[in-house]
Amino acid sequence: MGQIWKKCSASGGASGLPKTGQYQSYRTGDDHTYADPAGSYDIGLSRGEGTWDDYWDARFTDNGDNTVTDNVTGLMWIQDHVAMSTIEGVNWASTMSWTDAIDNCEALAYAGKSDWRLPNAYELFSICLFENGAIPYGVDADGIKGSGAPFINERAFPNTKSSNYWSATTYPNGTTYALNVNFNNGNLSNVDGIKTGSRYVRAVRGGQ
pLDDT, one tens digit per residue, over 85-136 is 899 999 999 999 999 999 999 999 999 999 999 999 999 999 999 999 999 9
Average pLDDT, the chain: 89
Q: pLDDT band at residue 42, thresholds of 50, 70 and 90?
A: confident
Per-residue model confidence (pLDDT) at position 14:
36
The whole-number average pLDDT for the span 34-54 is 78
Is 175's pLDDT higher than 60?
yes
List Cβ<8 Å contacts ≥24 apart for 113-119. Answer: 113/67, 113/76, 113/205, 115/205, 116/78, 116/203, 116/204, 116/205, 117/168, 117/203, 117/204, 117/205, 118/166, 118/167, 118/168, 118/201, 118/203, 118/204, 119/75, 119/167, 119/168, 119/202, 119/203, 119/204
Using a pLDDT cut of 70, give the percent of the chain over it.
89
Is CATH 1.10.3120 correct for 61-205?
no
Q: Does the pLDDT value for residue 201 go beyond 60? A: yes
Question: Which residues partner with 77 through β-bridges?
Answer: 68, 204
pLDDT given at position 44: 65
What pLDDT is recorded for position 61?
94
Check residue 179 and give its pLDDT: 97
Residue 38: pLDDT band with limits 50, 70, 90: confident
pLDDT at 75 > cutoff 70: yes
- How sure is the predictor about 16, in pLDDT bands with cuts at 50, 70 and 90? low
**pTM for this predicted structure:** 0.89
The pLDDT tens digits for 154-167 are 999 999 999 999 99
Q: Is the predicted pLDDT of residue 46 greater than 60, yes or no?
A: no
d(CA 182, CA 169): 14
pLDDT at 10: 33
Distance of CA 98 to the CA centre of its chain: 19
Q: What is the pLDDT of residue 1?
A: 40
